[in-house]
Structure 1
Amino acid sequence: MSKLIPSFKLVLLSVATCFAFSGKAQQTGSNPAPIATGTFVDNFNQPATLDGTLVFKLKPEFQAQASSDGVAVPALNDMLRRMGVTRITQKFPHASAPHAEQPGAVDLRLIYQIWLDKAAPLAKVQQALLSTGTLTYVEPLYYRAPLSQPNDPLADSTLATGQYHLKNIRAYQAWNLTQGDSTVLIGITDTGFRLSHQDLAGQWQRNYQDPPDGIDNDNDGFVDNYRGWDFADRDNNPAANGMTQPLHGVHTAGAAAGRVGNGLGIAGVGYNCRFLPLKIYPSTNTGSFAGYEAIVYAADHGCKVINMSWGSAGGRSQFEQDAITYAAINHDVVLVASAGNTNAELDFYPASYDHVLSVGWTGADDVRASRATYSRRIDLVAPGDNIYTTWGDTDSDYIRATGSSFSAPLVSGAAALVRARFPQFTAAQVIAQLRATTDNIYNLPGNTPYAGKLGTGRLNVFRAVQGDNQHAMRITQRVFTPSKTIYQLNDTIRLAVEVQNLLQPVQNLTLTVTSLSPYLTVQRGTFTAGAVATLSRASNASAPFCLKVAAAAPVNTSVTIRYRLSDPSTGYEQDQYTTLLINPEYVVLNAGNLALTLTHRGSLGVDGLGSTKGEGVRYQGGASLIYEGGIMVGAGTTRVSSRLRNDRNGIDTDFFTQAQTTMNRQTLRADQEACGLLQDSLPSATRNRTVGVQIRQRGYSWAQAPHRDYVVLEYVIKNVTADTLKPLYAGLFADWDLGDYIRNAVAWDSVRNLSYAYNVNSQNAYIGLQWLRGGTPISYAIDVNAPTGLVRLSDGFSRAEKMTTLANGTRQRTTGLTNGTDIAQVVGAKLPWLAPSDSVVVALAVVAAPTLAQLQAAASAAQVRYSPQQALNTRSALAAGAWQLYPNPTTGQIRVEVPASFGSRQLEVLSPLGQVVKQQAFLGSTSEVNLQGLPAGMYIVRIHGATGSLTRRVLLTH
């Protein structure tokens, strides 16, 4: 989903979130310093993005057109030129090709990075590039920060506790069985290094094939990468930087691979295993974060383990996952990452990616640290409090550092020992061995509240290297059908899983699925796999699990599915988990060709500009065509309510939900129907900025031609103020992006009251807004980048500009017709007045088609289908025992249907005060009633029969 370019304030908040440091940092050596404490910031914003740059991945069928010189795909190259791309490079030109015998491997040669003007609207460029149909994804590049900042150590060489963590994790006993191997290389991706430190000098890997002589002797694309590489500044000097936690990399390197047996300082867990210094944070203002580039390099250059003591919450990226998968699957690397330093349950990246060993942290007492992240995505924990390691101000100083940054390298060192002890193990088997051999710490009182959220337990290196007789199954694939980001109420879900046995054989494996939430029930949840040999797989694809979402789950509910793997014959039992989101703050109307997201607060596509809540507006499964959209209501000359961008580079949040928008289980007028209730604030509470209306929004979608190319949106607007709203305006705003978004145009079809958008170059996709009912139509076409004029969105969308689009009838109906531009439009209705407590109906259609003729045909069909008389004549048969009154609201004519067994005698229409204002005989089971001539408002229809009376309210509008 597209995201906004973050503001400077957001960048600062995101960085602050990740620079998390707790407690005291203590130093021994010749440079004592005062005690300092740091602060953890609980902030879960999306991570900051790098301005002016995107990455994209070609679809596999274009692999032959991918090269280090560029992309030989005309449609894509044309769009890149139109978007003003100043530079394009193949992201990983030296990446190896995937092999057929590597299930799940990725081809990084398909990934490219592009540079644009820093002010370019990245979300719009993303949509434009996706519209070419040649790309798997287009994404921003995120900044992932290091996870602690110990910057003021305490000089104290007399502390008796020493490296307590080596005792906790039983490293001393492990070293009696294996002391690692210098050929097992740990890639340390971090801020930089002091390679001359006495406990690091003999531990880093030199590249003797490319000595520093100004020549790329080994032809790997990196000149003189003799001592690792600086990916952030793009040079061969991985020394500690002076900008971002400069010594952080020195600390993590010492914890993982500090030299053992030299009679000096500390001992790294990896003992004889060496590390490759990979600097990923810049030392200059022109550099940029490059963690994932370093991961690919480490995989290509022989690392068997990669340590990542950095990250941030949220912002999952397929590009980042691809880099992880390339290392783990294509090159069989163990990837270890810090799980985070935030006292919350959340997903943290890269730790939460597939194929990553996620490491949480504990104190010396094995109890979860008070500021440690916890979740079911964590694999295990390790000590992270006061870890004694190399400092880096001099060649002989040390520090006590705190945070998950320092629990992860302990596990990386352990992983290296396992690889040395069991060279036959794959990376997945190493991870399984480490998980299977932890010590159970859930029996400690401080850990009881976090059951299942600290992984399998605390790292035990001795058990990990002691023997290869463990059992470990791992779910390697989950396929949910239908495939959705979020599931709606009453959805039925089929779940097929594949499990792989990573260690010793099992004889009678059973997989049982359980929902840990009352809002998701398991209707079929057992799979008997039987005997599964080492590295073999089993799947229930032929008989998937069956799950059902409840009918009344709260909005945005997160539900956890537990997979229990057990084998009674060996005593093996293990739990794994998946989290699903159900009942989102939106519905998707997609019975026909057009899939439209309608949110609880009246937005179209997504829930406000920059939100990830929503699935866009798509035609026939293509890329989303909308950048921003939603309902606007105006009154008088200045009052406007919306959930759209404003003139402060933010979002107006005038509408709030009174009743969430949900799909109707029994439809009356269409194949899909949705209904919800929203309201804005009273003008008296907003200094007369808002309108004061309650809106019942309904959406209708049809599956059959000629109605499958549009969605009808109906708004019943009620005046909740004490004053008459005069005049009242209601309209839909849509910022469409069709292909090359700067070549779009808007035209007006007065016959169909249809304002439609298209691309002046391609003209192979049309989408528009159509007035159907309520007041008189309004239509306003907007040139987003207009240098002057009454409305220009390049600097925001003020309330005055919103009112201009609503109050100018159909005078501004076109824009961009000759050369195209970046466009938006407003289509709606003007109503002369709306009295207090009165309601009015405004109905519009969103229409899409591949040609103008088809668009016009769909719009004509919408006019006919929505007409009240047509609605009366297209009812389905009455269900037994039910009765119906429709359409409701109505402009005058209604039909009433009751069961024949009711024995109807008379029908009455009553005013809100109970006065009978109309009556007529009712014989049989069906009758039509004409309410024309009565004032607009709410009435009660009452039917007397042989067995009792039936009553129902009906809203009459004019």
Structure 2
Amino acid sequence: MLVTLRWFFCAALLLGSTAAAVAQSAALPPATRTVRPGVLVFRLKATPADATQPRRPGPAALPAALTTTFQALGATARPKFPQATAPTAARAQAGAVDLGLLYELTLPANTSPTHMQQRLLKTGLVEYAEPLYDYQPLQQPNDPQADSVGPGGQYHLKNIRAYQAWNLTQGDTSIVIGIADGGTRFTHEDLAGKNQLNRRDPVDGIDNDGDGYIDNYSGWDFADHDNDPERARNPTDIAHGVMVTGVAAGATNNGLGIASVGYKSRFMPLKIYPSTPAGSFGGYEAIVYAADHGCQVVNLSWGGAGAPSRFEQEVISYAALNHDVVVVAAAGNTPQDLDFYPASYQHVVSVALTTRTDERSLIGTFSHRIDLSAPGEGIITTLGFTDTDYVKTGGSSFAAPQVAGAAALVRSRFPGYNAAQVAAQLRRTTDFIDDLPGNVAYAGRLGSGRLNVLRAVSEQPYSARVMARTAAPDRSYYQPADTLRLTVSVQNLLRELPGLTVTLTSLSPYVSVRQGEFSTGPLATLATAGNAAAPFRLAVAATGVPLNTKAVLRYHLHHAASGYTEYQYETLLLNPDYVVLDANNLRLTLTGRGNVGYDAANPSLGEGISYRQGPPLLAEGGLLLATSATRLASNVRNDKGGRDVDFESVGQVHRLPAISGSADQRAEGRLRETQPPAANPQAVGVALRQRATARATAPHQNYVLLEYQLTNLTADTLRPLHLGLFMDWDLPDDPTRNATGWDAARRLGYVYDAPGQTIYAGVQHLSGGQPSIFSLDNSTATPVGPVRLNDGFSREEKWLTLSSGTTYATAGPTTGADAAQVVGAALPYLAPADSLTVAFAVLAAPSLAELQAAADAAAAGYQQVPTTSKPRMLAGVWLYPNPTSGTVRLELPPGSPATVEVLSVLGQQLAAYSFQQSTATLDLSVYPAGVYLVRIETAAGTGTYRVLKRP
């Protein structure tokens, strides 16, 4: 019988690092991501042998250095997937992954997961480290009668031509669909007897098959860690999994209830949402289990928008590449053009939902990453509160299992197809729907069309796919005026192609394709071809590229004579709010909010600081600015378990043209305090312009210059004023044994690895005020000194590090500690509307002597014309208005010729003039906002005037 669904629970999971995920039922509110406390997952770096030959069975051994570190910290590591099989050499070369390299780390109480992430990365032994996430179920009331308008019954089976498809194949009981969801109800009349049993491990308290799971006869509960995947029979558990199962693999032709797309296909219940307070989300563990236990298809009716996770992508790749599983996922119920994970991961068939009339549902996600669509409104399926109940529901959660059921039929109909070929068959046999009135605006973003199961099991279409691509330069983002080349590998997945032309076009006005086509000639099934001889060439626009732009590229794979045509898309990130300077041995990230290395301590936002392509050297770096302990701004950690966010980007940090012989790479940006003094008494009232310069030639290859131009925005003289760089260094091989040093003659604060003394890094004060240095012990044990970072970094402590001169130049024992430093400048005063510049050099070298040599080179290479607030005044010379928005009027001594130069604050000549008249005009409108120097030479002498150009 069909019953009214009064309410049901839906589960949520965040798959990326920035947004919430929801189980994909219609109209669900987003959930809040919570980091699983005290847990990280990390991947060991593979040894060269791992890439060329099979690794021994079982998880990879932890390096002794990591074991020692974990023991010292009281942390414990265990293999994340101890039963996962290592890929063969052939599969490894094809991109398969080794989950034996993944470990889960349990941290001791009060240990920061973010800080531990950094410590793991600094060892050089870990490829990545990420948190794990938990989500609690969300109650969602629902009245199914709202979906009951119009004809009843399972209309979607007619739309997708399932009835005709069953005349050709009804699937096979050997094809198993893994349902990673909220559990099942074994006794429901339309599910009973359809679940796959593990007869090798009957329920007797023994792990008979040796797979690491005791009595997993009926499946597994990955949320509560037991062998009962049945949703608890109480009104507070999730019915979502029962509903999804009914669509994909419910009993068909049994005279009861509903029919499923998968017909004879069986299902494996993999419960991933907890029924107990101690449980936690288990979606990715369930995927690995399904792959290891013979599922040919896995359905994932959950996900979330946001950034991708490397851990999650590796799990997906393990299933698809190592075990040839067709992974199907819901594309989401977020009515926006966005990436949605796991649906947007590689090797996933992403499914959007449509209405009864094949038009885009108003609640559905749309994007170029979607593969195909399926009906998702008013879907009748099993409910699971009783053994005879059904419900009419909707969402991409119930579009995806239709495709999963179809994938099972295709695997039965074409048993020789691999997972990639099954996915291609599903994509290439859809019904085109982009020209329907409700879809025209979303053309290309609903996938290839609406699922047609009859065509999927009967036709033999052409299909090729870009399977891999390599960019040169290979970057995570590209800046304005960058150029790049793309080398792609294309594989023919289905019928033999008589020929193939691949054309690349840009759908973004900010990327142009200069070379965008190649032809392969005939391609046999599963044959590959590429364009290594003549890569695609692209160029990013030099100007006008908005911040954090995502540029979509389209591959058009076609053969004119046969009529074959197919599209594929990828995205480039353009113009992010950070810049990486890598012209020399030091690779340094400068962010738009004044952080150095990473935005805060987030390794996904920036590329850190490294030396000669080695491991990251810095855990966290950023600005401190203060006039007192109560008027202080920073963008680094605080004593409240988080970090201060007192600065915001005003002018995006961006690249500047190189200057031959003195600056191979340049970058600048503007930032200000988030709240002005009028709104925040703790604000300092200073605007900053930051600049970075890197030189590639000797002796300048071991440092990067950082300049900060400070402008007083208040009506009061700021006295005193302190600016500093907080640098929490984590030098390999053991970040807990870094020692600090201070070279007073060079105004150089530095840190080095005490055991080996093979890497040195530091900050040098070059100009602006008097230098200051404060070294800190960041150890978890009780450190010695007035500032203790192990319990946070308070405002009072920050002020102390800025205002103590050189009293605390060193910290920690001589054998080393987890060290940090604040290198700063003490400025006696800054008058209203006045500006001055403070300059530092960030350096690294393999020895102290080489670090000192780099410091000497930085001091010699940094040329700054004095910018005092009281320059020499020449008789008869006046400049106004100052500040100016464009033009400056000059009054010069009558009858005396004058030479006028416009200079940058580094003393670089921008323009030169000769005037005979007593009045003249300088046009500064062609220059960006900032401080400029006007040097005037008359018969009375030479004077330098500072002029502030406003935006």
Q: Normalized against structure 1, the TM-score is what? A: 0.86
Deviation string, structure 1 residues 318-365 (Cα, Å, up to 9, x no partner): 222222112111221111011112122221111111110011112222
Deviation string, structure 1 residues 925-947 (Cα, Å, up to 9, x no partner): x9999x9xxxx9x999743499x
Give the C-alpha shift of residue 153 in structure 1.
Answer: 6.2
* 1:776 corresponds to: 770
* 2:419 corresponds to: 427
Opposite residue 41 of structure 2, the aligned amino acid is L
Opposite residue 238 of structure 1, the aligned amino acid is P
Deviation string, structure 1 residues 738-784 (Cα, Å, up to 9, x no partner): 24433333322212111112333443322111111111111122234
Deviation string, structure 1 residues 531-563 (Cα, Å, up to 9, x no partner): 222211110011100001111112111111111
SS state of the match for residue 859, structure 2?
A: helix
Change (3 A) 1:118 1:263: farther
Identity of aligned residues (%): 50
Give the C-alpha shift of residue 625 in structure 1.
Answer: 2.1
* 2:29 corresponds to: 40
Deviation string, structure 1 residues 777-798 (Cα, Å, up to 9, x no partner): 1112223455796534444433
Distance 1:126 1:244 in 2: 36
Preserved CA contact (<8 Å) 2:13 2:21: no
Matched, 1:318 2:294: no
* 1:32 corresponds to: none
Change (3 A) 1:321 1:214: same
Distance 1:957 1:158 in 2: 78
1:177 aligns with one of 164, 168, 185: 168
* 1:381 corresponds to: 373
Preserved CA contact (<8 Å) 1:19 1:146: no
* 2:487 corresponds to: 496
Change (3 A) 1:632 1:949: same
1:79 aligns with one of 69, 78, 89: 69
Preserved CA contact (<8 Å) 1:99 1:330: no
1:285 aligns with one of 271, 277, 280: 277
* 1:902 corresponds to: none
Opposite residue 507 of structure 2, the aligned amino acid is L
Matched, 1:857 2:853: yes
Matched, 1:822 2:818: yes
* 1:482 corresponds to: 473
Matched, 1:724 2:713: no
* 1:276 corresponds to: 268
Aligned residues: 895
* 1:903 corresponds to: none
Preserved CA contact (<8 Å) 1:656 1:680: yes
Q: Within 5 Å, give how 1:402-441 maps onto structure 2.
A: 402-441=394-433
* 2:96 corresponds to: 105
* 1:689 corresponds to: 682
Aligned CA RMSD, in angstroms, stands at 3.6
Distance 2:848 2:896 in 1: 48
Opposite residue 44 of structure 2, the aligned amino acid is K
* 2:933 corresponds to: 954
Distance 1:687 1:841 in 2: 25
Deviation string, structure 1 residues 553-604 (Cα, Å, up to 9, x no partner): 1211111111111110110111111111111111112111111111222211
Give the C-alpha shift of residue 841 in structure 1.
Answer: 1.5
SS state of the match for residue 158, structure 2?
A: helix
756-765 or 394-403, which deviates more: 756-765
Matched, 1:752 2:784: no
Distance 1:666 1:69 in 2: 49
* 2:154 corresponds to: 163
Change (3 A) 1:489 1:116: same
* Ranges in structure 1 where 5+ consecutive residues have no aligned partner: 1-8, 24-37, 869-886, 895-905
* 1:901 corresponds to: none
Preserved CA contact (<8 Å) 2:764 2:840: yes
* 1:18 corresponds to: 21
Distance 1:358 1:814 in 2: 56
Distance 1:385 1:643 in 2: 47
Preserved CA contact (<8 Å) 2:933 2:945: no
Give the C-alpha shift of residue 376 in structure 1.
Answer: 0.8
Distance 1:646 1:158 in 2: 56
* 2:937 corresponds to: none
Deviation string, structure 1 residues 483-525 (Cα, Å, up to 9, x no partner): 1111111111101111111112222311111111111111111
2:606 aligns with one of 614, 618, 639: 614
Preserved CA contact (<8 Å) 1:707 1:858: yes
1:123 aligns with one of 114, 136, 140: 114
Distance 1:158 1:361 in 2: 18
Give the C-alpha shift of residue 379 in structure 1.
Answer: 0.5
Preserved CA contact (<8 Å) 1:169 1:459: yes
Change (3 A) 1:49 1:524: farther
SS state of the match for residue 809, structure 1?
A: coil
Distance 2:830 2:241 in 1: 66
* 1:58 corresponds to: 45
Opposite residue 199 of structure 2, the aligned amino acid is Y
Change (3 A) 1:588 1:441: same
Q: Within 5 Å, give how 1:511-590 maps onto structure 2.
A: 511-552=502-543, 553-590=545-582
* 1:222 corresponds to: 213
* 2:458 corresponds to: 466
Deviation string, structure 1 residues 388-434 (Cα, Å, up to 9, x no partner): 11111111111122221111111100100111111121111111111
Deviation string, structure 1 residues 783-829 (Cα, Å, up to 9, x no partner): 34557965344444333332222222111222113354333221111
Q: Normalized against structure 2, the TM-score is what? A: 0.87
Change (3 A) 1:416 1:447: same
Change (3 A) 1:246 1:890: same
Change (3 A) 1:945 1:602: farther
Deviation string, structure 1 residues 637-692 (Cα, Å, up to 9, x no partner): 53222323334444433333332222221426322122222233674423322122
Matched, 1:679 2:672: yes
Distance 2:49 2:910 in 1: 63
Preserved CA contact (<8 Å) 2:770 2:826: yes
Distance 2:674 2:118 in 1: 34
* 2:83 corresponds to: 93
Give the C-alpha shift of residue 848 in structure 1.
Answer: 1.1
SS state of the match for residue 133, structure 1?
A: coil
Distance 1:479 1:230 in 2: 40
Give the C-alpha shift of residue 838 in structure 1.
Answer: 1.7
Preserved CA contact (<8 Å) 1:943 1:949: no
2:296 aligns with one of 304, 321, 333: 304
Distance 1:433 1:609 in 2: 44
Give the C-alpha shift of residue 14 in structure 1.
Answer: 9.6
SS state of the match for residue 685, structure 1?
A: coil
Change (3 A) 1:699 1:793: same
SS state of the match for residue 446, structure 1?
A: coil
* Ranges in structure 2 where 5+ consecutive residues have no aligned partner: 1-11, 882-889, 925-931, 935-943, 947-951
Matched, 1:709 2:731: no
* 1:4 corresponds to: none
Distance 1:314 1:345 in 2: 12
Matched, 1:369 2:358: no
Preserved CA contact (<8 Å) 1:280 1:291: yes
Opposite residue 602 of structure 2, the aligned amino acid is G
Change (3 A) 1:40 1:636: closer
Matched, 1:212 2:212: no
221-230 or 657-666, which deviates more: 657-666
Distance 1:492 1:13 in 2: 29
* 1:943 corresponds to: 914
SS state of the match for residue 439, structure 2?
A: helix
Distance 2:44 2:628 in 1: 50
Opposite residue 354 of structure 2, the aligned amino acid is T
